[in-house]
Amino acid sequence: MVKETIQIFARLKPPSRKHQQGVCAEQLGTGEIYSIDEDEKLTPSLEIILPRDLADGFVNNKRESYRFKFQRIFDHDAKQEIIFENIAKPVAESVLAGYNSTIFAYGQTGSGKTFTITGGAERYSDRGIIPRTLSYIFEQLQKDSSKMYTTHISYLEIYNECGYDLLDPRHEASRLEDLPKVTILEDPDQNIHLKNLSLHQATTEEEALNLLFLGDTNRMIAETPMNQASTRSHCIFTVHLSSKEPGSATVRHSKLHLVDLAGSERVAKSGVRGQLLTEAKYINLSLHYLEQVIIALSERNRLHIPYRNSMMTSVLRDSLGGNCMTTMIATLSLEKRNIEESISTCRFAQRVALIKNEAVLNEEIDPRLVIICLQKEIQELKDELAIVTGEQRTEALTEEELLQLEKLMTSFLEDQDPESRLEVGADMRKIHHCFHHLKRLVNDKKTLGKSTGPSETKNQDCQEPLREEEYRKLQDILKQRDNEINILVNMLKKEKKKTQDAGLLSSMDRSEIRSSQGSPFPSGNPQEGQRTSSSLVPAQAQDFGASRYRSSLLHKKTGMRGEMSLGCQEAFEIFKRDHADSVTIDDNKQILKQRFSEAKALGESINEARRKIGHLKDAITQRHMQQVALGISENTAVPGVPDPQEEELRLQLEEEKKRYRTKFTRLKALKVEIEHLQLLMDRAKVKLQKDFEAWWAAEASSLQVHSPAANPLGPVKPFPQTSESQQDRSQLPSNRRDLTGRNTPPTPCPSPVGREQCSPSTRPEVSISERPTSSIPLTGDSQTDSDILAFIRARQSILQRKCKCTHLQLHEARASALLAST
């Protein structure tokens, strides 16, 4: 059992980009707001200093600085790798050792919880704790051949006190609200079970990563502007690990919860109303219950801990004051306007640090193996009983039983140990059978002894020296011939394989060229240099296929593009071009392209190395054969003395193998990176499409308002009348409205310069709403009219943003042509 308090770490977020680029960076400079004291080596502390203008109004006693102790404090420049190495790696180790573990991130919205737990959506180097931990765990599992491991993944989202399975296949067809809710069941031992939460087996890092991205994309798709679930829900990604030693009946289970909590900001500050207030109240309620549990746990002698008050505390019951090693990361966005929230986060962390957990190894006996053992024991007891009661067992021994006895007797007779025993159990039939068998053996030996007469032996004896020499010589020759035959057979096999490989390799090359997305990886065990790519590539290709299959499913779900009208498609093209994410997608595309060509080149040089290894091996075999042949004909081979040429070849072979292994390791890393980038891109594409869909629907609904005569664009999702905190709004681009109350595309100007250009003050106010509807000629056909109206709207907002370029002019020309033709 390991008794440990919950470990608390603080991670500071870099100042937001807006501030970094802002004019008065030093004013907002965080240096005056906080300082980290690392002198106290064991418990570093974070001092938050209240600026004078805030101190007066903030607290009555006019305290001006607060000091909080943490296990470690990571300043804003700490990279994701450092966070993994220092926080998550030790946790992953304890999960591998069989202990339940939890890492949870707590902090206000925008402080970096998701960035820390899952990672950034842009760069590979920004991947967070989950992908890095998965990578580490699978690497360790691969290294450890002493146990059999099974890994399962589950991904739960708790939103408004309801649980949803982010990996539920029905996500493809439903909205979040339509999915079956995950519910909590408690068994008589007060263990928590989650009904409707699916567990998915993951045998490789790639499979686990696919599940993570699938869950994240499902979460993003389910999120509507009305439910900004990502800031208002809790997400629990769980890795379930079981291990068993071969032959043992004991199974070890451990769970790793990686938790991204809802934003911890208070309702009062964000001042939300209506529906959002209900949500905010819920989050607050759920975090409030978390706080209550933590207070109860940190107080000594408290008998009742109110776990049952909320779903989240019920699910995390073991992580809080139970059988678990728990780590908390307090994420802080230490800017002036966030001071209040930051202090509250730190206070929460201080209370959490008082909680003691007791983690035990979760071992359980595998019932199937126990049944086998018990059956054996029952049989033995029956046998003993039969002897004791004198009961005769008359039925014949089965074939298996006889075979088993033969084996036992053979090993007994061959065993040189005089103490060894023949254990056949208490079955008289078996004992009798063994005696009969031994009797037969003794008799056989006797008859053999009689048949070899003394004269013969004598005769044999006198010829012995001669025969023995001859016999040895013959044996040597036989051995040599055997060797040669083996070598020749091997050579033949290799030749055959080479011809097969040549065929497969050329077809693989063709498929690589055909598809830039196809895998360029000749994978396989780096230890086995001689394995050919052909036997391994298809499995890799399947992996890629699987991830593409998933993403295509996701695309289908958002699948608006499939049914897009021409106008809608054009608008999408413009929208895509101006969307901030398209820069990321393009960047990632470039990186992906580079990585692909690097992987391809590496793949080729690995194939080359493999060919060289093959040649060297052939050369060694040939040389060996020559030596053997020479030895036979001239009797010159001196056994035990190595042939220098062969030695040289062997050295070269080792060198080549080393090179092969280095390249292979690099290729493996590249493969993980490429897959990650592909998943990031898939997700970005889905997001782009989703943003467009929302914007398109909003445009249509605003047109409907201004032009009731116009035909509606089908069902339209309303946009939220949000009044969220400023910060929220900056992160939820689809919620932005321009001065006329219309929605603008979520991120219309990728660069800050662009953003300035389209600021309301500089924008020429030529709004379509001001134009009389009758001035727009309509065709009467609902689809065409809605396209025209939506197109004009799209064009208008682009014009307003002054993003004039040839592309737009082209569209303008097309629009005029379209209008003229109607």
Map residues 55-94 to x or -, x wherever contact with Mg ion holds by CB under 5 A: ----------------------------------------
Burial of 259 (0-12, 13-18, 19+ CB in 10 A): buried
Residue 94's closest CA among 304, 357, 314, 283?
A: 357
Percent of the chain as helix, strand, coil, to the nearest 5? 60, 15, 30
Residue nearest to Mg ion (CB): 114
Complex with ligand ADP: residue 76 or 661, whichever CB lies closer: 76
Query: According to the annotation, is 111 in a ligand binding site?
Result: yes
Complex with ligand ADP: residue 15 or 520, whichever CB lies closer: 15
Q: Contact 506/514 with Cβ under 8 angstroms?
A: no
> Contacts for 452-456 with beta carbons within 8 Å, 24 or more apart?
none
Query: According to the annotation, is 114 in a ligand binding site?
Result: yes
Round to whole Å and give the CA distance between 697 and 226: 14
Query: According to the annotation, is 107 in a ligand binding site?
Result: yes
- Closest distance of CB 13 from Mg ion, Å: 12
Q: Contact 286/264 with Cβ under 8 angstroms?
A: no
Q: Contact 441/447 with Cβ under 8 angstroms?
A: no
Complex with ligand ADP: residue 118 or 323, whichever CB lies closer: 118
786 binds ligand ADP (CB under 6 A): no
Residues numbered 5-34 forming contacts with ligand ADP, rule: CB under 6 A: 13-14
Complex with ligand ADP: residue 74 or 99, whichever CB lies closer: 74
Query: Of ligand ADP, Mg ion, none, which one sits near residue 163, judging by CB under 5 to 8 A according to partner kind?
Result: none
Residues numbered 101-120 forming contacts with Mg ion, rule: CB under 5 A: 113-114
Q: Contact 9/356 with Cβ under 8 angstroms?
A: no
Compute CA 674 distance to the chain's CA centroid, rounded to the nearest angstrom: 14
Complex with ligand ADP: residue 260 or 656, whichever CB lies closer: 260
Query: Of ligand ADP, Mg ion, none, which one sits near residue 748, judging by CB under 5 to 8 A according to partner kind?
Result: none
Phi, psi of 224 (to 5 degrees): -110, 165
Residue nearest to ligand ADP (CB): 112
Complex with ligand ADP: residue 76 or 615, whichever CB lies closer: 76
Round to whole Å and give the CA distance between 221 and 172: 9
For residue 805, CA distances in Å to 134, 581, 582, 749, 812 come to 45, 19, 17, 14, 11
Q: Which two tokens stand for residue 692?
A: 């467009």
Round to whole Å and give the CA distance between 14 and 380: 70
- Closest distance of CB 36 from ligand ADP, Å: 15
Complex with Mg ion: residue 114 or 327, whichever CB lies closer: 114
- Closest distance of CB 72 from Mg ion, Å: 22
Complex with ligand ADP: residue 110 or 720, whichever CB lies closer: 110
Complex with ligand ADP: residue 263 or 603, whichever CB lies closer: 263
Residues numbered 231-290 forming contacts with ligand ADP, rule: CB under 6 A: 231, 263
- Closest distance of CB 111 from Mg ion, Å: 9
HSE of 685 in the Cβ direction (CA atoms, 13 Å)?
Answer: 21
DSSP per-residue codes, 529-597: TT--GGGTHHHHHHHHHHHHHHHHHHHHHH-TGGG--HHHHHHHHHHHHH-HHHHHHHHHHHHHHHHHH
Round to whole Å and give the CA distance between 363 and 385: 34
Complex with Mg ion: residue 112 or 321, whichever CB lies closer: 112
- Closest distance of CB 111 from ligand ADP, Å: 5
Complex with ligand ADP: residue 159 or 660, whichever CB lies closer: 159
Q: Contact 5/356 with Cβ under 8 angstroms?
A: yes
- Of 96-104, 107-115, 275-283, 639-647: span binding ligand ADP (CB under 6 A): 107-115
Burial of 226 (0-12, 13-18, 19+ CB in 10 A): middle
Q: Give the list of residues 6+ apart from residue 729 with CB closer than 8 angstroms, or none.
A: 722, 735, 736
- Closest distance of CB 126 from ligand ADP, Å: 7
Query: According to the annotation, is 762 in a ligand binding site?
Result: no
- Of 108-116, 181-189, 191-199, 715-723: span binding ligand ADP (CB under 6 A): 108-116
Q: Contact 153/199 with Cβ under 8 angstroms?
A: yes
- Closest distance of CB 136 from Mg ion, Å: 23
Residues numbered 109-138 forming contacts with ligand ADP, rule: CB under 6 A: 109-115, 120
The DSSP bridge pattern shows strands 200-201 and 148-159 to be antiparallel
Round to whole Å and give the CA distance between 720 and 732: 11
- Of 29-37, 40-48, 102-110, 639-647: span binding ligand ADP (CB under 6 A): 102-110
- Of 105-113, 305-313, 370-378, 446-454: span binding ligand ADP (CB under 6 A): 105-113
Residues numbered 488-527 forming contacts with ligand ADP, rule: CB under 6 A: none
Quote the longest CA-to-CA distance of the chain. 131
Binding footprint of ligand ADP, residue count (CB under 6 A)? 14
Query: Of ligand ADP, Mg ion, none, which one sits near residue 107, judging by CB under 5 to 8 A according to partner kind?
Result: ligand ADP
Query: Of ligand ADP, Mg ion, none, which one sits near residue 112, judging by CB under 5 to 8 A according to partner kind?
Result: ligand ADP
- Closest distance of CB 79 from ligand ADP, Å: 8
Complex with Mg ion: residue 114 or 558, whichever CB lies closer: 114
DSSP bridge partners of 235: 157, 260
Binding footprint of Mg ion, residue count (CB under 5 A)? 2
Complex with Mg ion: residue 263 or 567, whichever CB lies closer: 263
- Closest distance of CB 263 from ligand ADP, Å: 6
Query: Of Mg ion, ligand ADP, none, which one sits near residue 13, judging by CB under 5 to 8 A according to partner kind?
Result: ligand ADP
Query: According to the annotation, is 242 in a ligand binding site?
Result: no
- Closest distance of CB 110 from ligand ADP, Å: 5
Query: Of ligand ADP, Mg ion, none, which one sits near residue 111, judging by CB under 5 to 8 A according to partner kind?
Result: ligand ADP
- Closest distance of CB 119 from ligand ADP, Å: 9
For residue 380, CA distances in Å to 184, 376, 384, 404 come to 45, 6, 6, 15
Burial of 598 (0-12, 13-18, 19+ CB in 10 A): middle
- Closest distance of CB 778 from Mg ion, Å: 44
Query: According to the annotation, is 322 in a ligand binding site?
Result: no
Burial of 773 (0-12, 13-18, 19+ CB in 10 A): middle
Map residues 194-233 to x or -, x wherever contact with ligand ADP holds by CB under 6 A: -------------------------------------x--
Angle at 686 between CA 682 and CA 687, to 5 degrees: 115
Query: Of Mg ion, ligand ADP, none, which one sits near residue 331, judging by CB under 5 to 8 A according to partner kind?
Result: ligand ADP
Helices (H), 733-781: 752-757
Query: Of ligand ADP, Mg ion, none, which one sits near residue 71, judging by CB under 5 to 8 A according to partner kind?
Result: none
Rg (CA), the chain: 37
- Closest distance of CB 231 from ligand ADP, Å: 5
Query: According to the annotation, is 499 in a ligand binding site?
Result: no
Looking at 331, 357, 722, 800, which residue binds ligand ADP (CB under 6 A)?
331
Complex with ligand ADP: residue 109 or 532, whichever CB lies closer: 109
Residues numbered 535-594 forming contacts with ligand ADP, rule: CB under 6 A: none
For residue 60, CA distances in Å to 54, 57, 64, 346, 447 come to 11, 7, 11, 19, 111
Residue 698's closest CA among 753, 645, 761, 741?
A: 741
Query: According to the annotation, is 35 in a ligand binding site?
Result: no
> What single-letter DSSP state applies at residue 793?
H
Which residues of the chain form contacts with Mg ion (CB under 5 A)? 113-114
Known binding residues: 107-114
Which residues of the chain form contacts with ligand ADP (CB under 6 A)? 13-14, 107, 109-115, 120, 231, 263, 331
